[in-house]
Amino acid sequence: MQTYTPDILIPRIARLGEGPLWDEAKQTFYYTDILSDTFYAYNPESGRITPIAVNQHLGCFALRQGGGFVLGMSAGVYLRDPDGMPEKLPQPEWSAAVRANDGKCDPQGRFWCGTSDEVEGICRGGLYVITPERRCAKLLSGLRCANGLAFSGDTVYFIDSPSRCVMRYTFDSDALTLHDGAPVIAIDPAHGLPDGMTMDDDGMLWVAHWGGGFVGRYDPRTGELLAKVEVPASQTTSCCFGGRDGRTLFITTAAVGAEHEPHAGKVFAVELPVGGAASCRFGG
């Protein structure tokens, strides 16, 4: 099995680093520190990192085609204009028992946002989709910790972390529904929990392992683990492709629960022989 070793990209320690995305137009990397109510913009050329404060836990976010961001937060989903002014969308709504966790945009400009239980075991998490026209649908319910997403045509890959598997669904874009759910990758309990996820240009899935300290490359057709990026931080949370040639894998980690680890909470990067598409933008 091929293994890779990443370098430290950002030494700043995040309590719960998550939500990495790459802005191809600005050649800028973004990520959130959920528990610190802050997200960051990092310029790899200058090494400058800019904190952007928000007033809630920010679980996930995406760029907007017209500028600004769409934000999945504790109290709902917000549109933030280029001047920083927020607008809360009327849908989706969720209770204080959950908060936004992982999410991203698909190539058609729809924003997908999952929620995670704030009280362990209540199973009130869900997965939502919002179209550029602001149609909103709840796609899945009864989740515990909605996490990784990846898209290929009308196929959606999704992770509810405690299930220890990657699920495959077919998405009906007219009805805004998911069908034909089936597990395609089973995660060995010795490897921790599957967390964030991205897809490379060959259709393989790169899955961050919370508690496992690595990002694994999996074939969703066979479930086989093909390669590993061995991260020196056990709470590996998510990943995305970016960089000038699209072959840099950016990896976020968390310090919470791993404060004794010297590199926990830092952001890592590794150059790979395969690339992936830059992060998609919300069309609304």
What is the average pLDDT across 238-257? 97
pLDDT at 273: 97
Confidence bin at 48 (pLDDT 50/70/90):
very high
* 138: pLDDT strictly greater than 90: yes
What is the average pLDDT across 4-27? 97
pLDDT at 121: 82
What is the average pLDDT across 55-80? 96
Domain ranges of the chain: 2-271
pLDDT digits (tens, 9 = 90+) for 119-132: 888 899 999 999 99
CATH of domain 2-271: 2.120.10.30
pLDDT digits (tens, 9 = 90+) for 184-219: 999 999 999 999 999 999 999 999 999 999 999 999
pLDDT at 278: 86
Q: pLDDT exceeding 70 applies to what percent of the chain?
A: 100
pTM score, whole prediction: 0.97
pLDDT at 119: 82
Confidence bin at 174 (pLDDT 50/70/90):
very high
3-state secondary structure the chain: CEEECCEEEECCCCCCEEEEEEECCCCEEEEEEHHHCEEEEEECCCCEEEEEECCCCEEEEEEECCCCEEEEECCEEEEECCCCCEEECCCCCCCCCEEEEEEEECCCCCEEEEEEECCCCCCCEEEEEECCCCCEEEEEEEECEEEEEEEECCEEEEEEHHHCEEEEEEEECCCCEEEEEEEEEECCHHHCEEEEEEECCCCCEEEEEECCCEEEEECCCCCCEEEEEECCCCEEEEEEEECCCCCEEEEEECCCCCCCCCCCCCEEEEECCCCCCCCCCECC
When the pLDDT of each residue in the chain is averaged and rounded to a whole number, the result is: 97
